[in-house]
Amino acid sequence: MEKSLPSPTTQNPFSAFIKNNRGVLITILCLLLLPFALALVDGQPISSVLANDPGQSKFYQGLAIEIFILAIFALSYDLLFGITGLLSFGHAMFFGVGAYLTGIMLKSFGWGILPILCLVFVAGVIMALLFSVVLPRVKGITFALVTLGLAQVFYIVIQSRELADYAGAEIGLQGVTPPDFLNPISQRLRVYYLGLVVLFLVYFFYKRFVDSPTGHVCVAIRENEDRATMLGFNTFYFKLVALIISAITAALAGAMHGLFSPIIRPGIASSHYTIAALLMVLMGGIGTLDGALIGAATFRLLSFWLEKWFGGASQVIIGLVYILLVLFLPYGIVGTWRSRQLQIKQGWSNLISRFTGKRESV
């Protein structure tokens, strides 16, 4: 692995972008080909994948769409918690607002997709402003408790009997029919690619945001808020910006969930869902946007397989994973990889040299 330093004259922005994001671009390419690869493994003709015939490929596309939605949700939580350092226990409220607004507007009012998306954006901003009322006064754990309380109220309200006609009480919102061109059953491949596009648009936007001056101030606030204040930044505005962006993204993920899943359960607005986002971010690595994606994929696949193998006991195992992760892998997958990159490479080359007898230099 030798890296030639790019000379500034020959570098154009496009090739620099490709060079810096090689891993991500390869991942996108793999995901683009995934439905067809799965069909090939299963012995299904390509044409039937294009026609959205049922099969293994279609099933795993559905799982992948769920992962995309969770990944967007985890990204938004990582921006709020990992980058800006605001510990919120009410993040699922944004997701729930997005999902329920989409469902109710489609089912009861018959709105189109675009107006709904605009509404969801506005709702996300309003929710963020609601949270921000307490932002300048309370810090740290108290902020977490306030957000927990507010989200809990929302969770109880959507389950109430008075709203049963719209939100479906404890059972959840059923019978939402998404428009034909986005139907998750008959047009799954299209939904899959759309989800992929949205996910990576959000991802690159977030990467750009974190690299921007505003993002740097957010990181500074996480590291030491007093010092950021002393340097002359009004930290409230920066926290508010991060909160609004995060809320809009989470609401967008919620809207996608509302369009994709057959039942919108009230559980998506509960504190357990926020904790799930926390677990995803923790698994992937706090404050490393890549980690949110990897964490979401790991979390969903892990819970999928655990449920398949252990049934009801899977929650115990997820709890155990939580504890073991905190005790032995506190920086998550990406964080540990980054801090041990050199050691891991050394270990691999040692291992290879044992078989080949040659010693590679790293």
Partner 1 sequence: MNTLLGSFRKNRNLWITLIALLIVFVLAIRGLTDQEAVGGERYKNVVITILRGFSTGSIIFLVASGFSIIFGLMNVLNMAHGALFMIGAYVGWTVAVRPDTAVDAFTPIALLTGGFMLVPIWDRLLDKREWLSRSAHIWPWLGLILTLVVLVFTLPKYPITSWDVGSYEISPVNFAFAASQGILEVPEAEQFVGISPAIGLGGIILGGILAGITVAGFVINRRPATAGASEAEPFPWNSLIYCLALIALGLLVHFFNTSISNYLLSLDTTWLFILAILVAVLTGAALGILIETTMIRRLYETHFYVLMLTLGVNAIIIEIVRTIWGAPEFTMHRPSIFAGVGDGCPAESFAAMMEYKCATIRVLGGRVRTYNELFIPVLGIVVLIAVWILLQRTRLGMIVRAGVQDSEMVEALGINVQRVFTTVFALGVGLAALGGVIGAPSTGLTTTLGDSLLINMLVALSIGGLTSFPGAAAGGLIVGLLQQFIIKYGQIGINIPFMEEPFKPTPPLVPAMTVLLMVIILLVMPQGLFGRKE
Which residues bind to partner 1, rule: CB under 8 A? 87, 133-134, 137-139, 141-142, 145-146, 148-150, 152-153, 156-157, 159-162, 271, 275, 278, 282, 312-313, 315-316, 318-323, 326-327, 330
Number of H helices, E strands in the chain: 16, 0
Min separation Cβ 85 and partner 1, Å:
10
- CA dist 297 and 260 (Å) reads 17
Min separation Cβ 288 and partner 1, Å:
16
Q: Which two tokens stand for residue 222?
A: 């996480």
Min separation Cβ 185 and partner 1, Å:
32
Which distant-in-sequence residues (6+ apart) come within 8 Å of 206 by Cβ? 75, 79, 249, 289
| Helix 56-77 / helix 235-260 crossing angle, nearest 10 deg | 160
Min separation Cβ 275 and partner 1, Å:
6
Which amino acid type is present at position 329? L
Which amino acid type is present at position 56? Q
Min separation Cβ 324 and partner 1, Å:
9
Is residue 250 within a helix (H) or strand (E), and if so which, with residue range? Answer: helix 235-260
Closest to partner 1 by CB, 162 or 180: 162
Q: Distance of alpha carbon 307 from its chain centroid, rounded?
A: 21
User: CA torsion, points 334, 340, 345, 350, in degrees to nearest 10?
Assistant: -140
The DSSP letter of residue 311 is G
Closest to partner 1 by CB, 64 or 135: 135
Min separation Cβ 137 and partner 1, Å:
5
Question: Beta partners for 25?
Answer: none
Closest to partner 1 by CB, 272 or 354: 272
Closest to partner 1 by CB, 33 or 157: 157
Closest to partner 1 by CB, 262 or 319: 319
Closest to partner 1 by CB, 260 or 299: 299
